[in-house]
Amino acid sequence: MIKKFPSGFVWGVSTAAHQIEGGLMNDWTEWEQTHATTFATDAPSKFAKTSPVWEQIKPEATSPANYISGIADDSFHKYREDVGLMVELGVTASRFSIEWARIEPKEGEVDQTAIQHYKDVIAELRKHGIEPWVTTLHRTLPAWVAKQGGWANKKTVRDYGEYVTKLAEEFGSDVKFWMPLNEPVLNVGGGFVVGIIPPGKKNIFTALRAYGNMIAAHNHAYDILHKHIRDSQVGCAHAAVYAEGFQNKWYNNALVALLHYLANWKFLNGIKDHVDFIGIQYYTRGVLKLTTKNFLPSIQNVPMPGPRSDLVEEIYPVGLYNYARMIWQRYHKPIYVTENGIADRNDTYRAQYIKDHVAEIHRAIEDGIDMRGYFHWSLIDNFEWDTGFWPRFGLAAVDRQTLTRTLRPSAKVYSDIIKNNSV
């Protein structure tokens, strides 16, 4: 049966500066330099037994060069080509991020050429009738901000506010949709609890401080953007941390409730009065089981049967519906899926993945949940953080030698969904 979407439903693609632009200097580029060799050495233990494409990715995954973002996709120079791909797809919106380290490479020094660059990108999008959706910070910090302690330091909230004020002044008339921070919860969890991303700390007290500061930063940005841009729409770009309890046992469900509280509700409760919409970024689910390890309680994420992405993530579209429903019941705000996608270098699952997730959004709309848009992650293959370039998330493949972009067959499927406004 054909499922028609409401008119005005937003169809978009999502990208982030550090992952595509190239030529950056920030806390991540420093992290890459110090960790590339370890990432390459650790790749077999992480993926050799689990990734369905290990034999194909092995040469890349075990090479330190894979973990250096470097020129990335050179989208800084090739953005017109990227917009050309969006035009081919027929999207009505592009979510991208502005890089703070470009705008303010040194404290208090604004680089006008960087401002002009993003003005050019926005103009190019608008020329083709594509609405810009701006994330003001997608994971990375300028080196000088990282040096002062990053999100663990309250001063960063003030500095970030000044940066956002500058963006509002410069881009205010051209950008209506804003998302201050991408997935703060993952920044805090990865950077301050498990220590696998910058700044690589493992300290629960620092983590709580950073969490509080990121919530404060979001709320501060909301106030600034609304003060400067009268009809702006400011939302979040929240990682949909979604899990279910193994075999529906009460103790596993209790674990899930705790995880959902820490990773979702604690953050969203803190910003709920400072969002015009809630952006959710859904990829997969976890299935949690309480178990023991060395006689101590431990949590296991139980692998479920069924196909997996190249990054070994379960494909579970129903989770998107369930998650959106929880968000709607709690907050009653318009919801956009600001990211959803799959690492799938052979394009085996992507078309079906898109259709199934979009169908779940349709089901949610039919059930009265106010879902207004879908942004696919990602437009092009890109630099996937601590796994580097080998995971391929793009609707378009990028040749790593020539940086030539080529739309994959699944792009046609997404394009047809957009054209027909239905799945």
Number of residues that bind ligand BGC (CB under 6 A): 9
Minimum CB distance to ligand BGC, residue 391 (Å): 7
Q: Please, which residue, 57 or 229, has the CB nearer to ligand BGC? A: 57
Q: In this chain, which of 377, 389, 390, 414 binds ligand BGC, going by CB under 6 A?
A: 377
Q: Please, which residue, 78 or 392, has the CB nearer to ligand BGC? A: 392
Q: Please, which residue, 5 or 393, has the CB nearer to ligand BGC? A: 393
The C-alpha atoms of residue 23 and residue 20 are separated, in whole angstroms, by 10
Minimum CB distance to ligand BGC, residue 183 (Å): 5
Q: In this chain, which of 131, 244, 344, 384 binds ligand BGC, going by CB under 6 A?
A: 384
Minimum CB distance to ligand BGC, residue 18 (Å): 8
Q: Please, which residue, 16 or 83, has the CB nearer to ligand BGC? A: 16
Minimum CB distance to ligand BGC, residue 205 (Å): 25
Q: In this chain, which of 181, 239, 243, 398 binds ligand BGC, going by CB under 6 A?
A: 239
Minimum CB distance to ligand BGC, residue 244 (Å): 20
Minimum CB distance to ligand BGC, residue 237 (Å): 7
Minimum CB distance to ligand BGC, residue 363 (Å): 23
Check residue 339 for interaction with ligand BGC (CB under 6 A). Answer: yes
Q: Please, which residue, 118 or 375, has the CB nearer to ligand BGC? A: 375
Question: For residues 173-212, which are near ligand BGC according to CB under 6 A?
Answer: 182-183
List the x/- string, 11-30, binding to ligand BGC by CB under 6 A.
-----x--------------
Q: In this chain, which of 281, 284, 309, 322 binds ligand BGC, going by CB under 6 A?
A: 281
What is the three-state SS of the chain? CCCECCCCCEEEEECCHHHHCCCCCCHHHHHHHHHHHHHHHHHHHHHCCCCCCHHHHHHHHCCHHHHCCCCCCCHHHHHHHHHHHHHHHCCCEEEEECCHHHHCCECCECCHHHHHHHHHHHHHHHHCCCEEEEEEECCCCCHHHHHCCHHHCHHHHHHHHHHHHHHHHHHCCCCCEEEEEECHHHHHHHHHHCCCCCCCCCCHHHHHHHHHHHHHHHHHHHHHHHHHCCCCEEEEEEECCCEEEHHHCHHHHHHHHHHHHHHHHHHHHHHHHHCCEEEEECCCCEEEEEEEECCEEEEEECCCCCCECCCCCECCCHHHHHHHHHHHHHHCCCEEEEECCCCCCCCCCHHHHHHHHHHHHHHHHHCCCCEEEEEEECCECCCCHHHCCCCCCCCEEECCCCCCEEECHHHHHHHHHHHHCEC
Q: Please, which residue, 135 or 232, has the CB nearer to ligand BGC? A: 135
Q: Please, which residue, 138 or 274, has the CB nearer to ligand BGC? A: 138
Minimum CB distance to ligand BGC, residue 248 (Å): 27
What residues line the site for ligand BGC (CB under 6 A)?
A: 16, 182-183, 239, 281, 339, 377, 384, 393
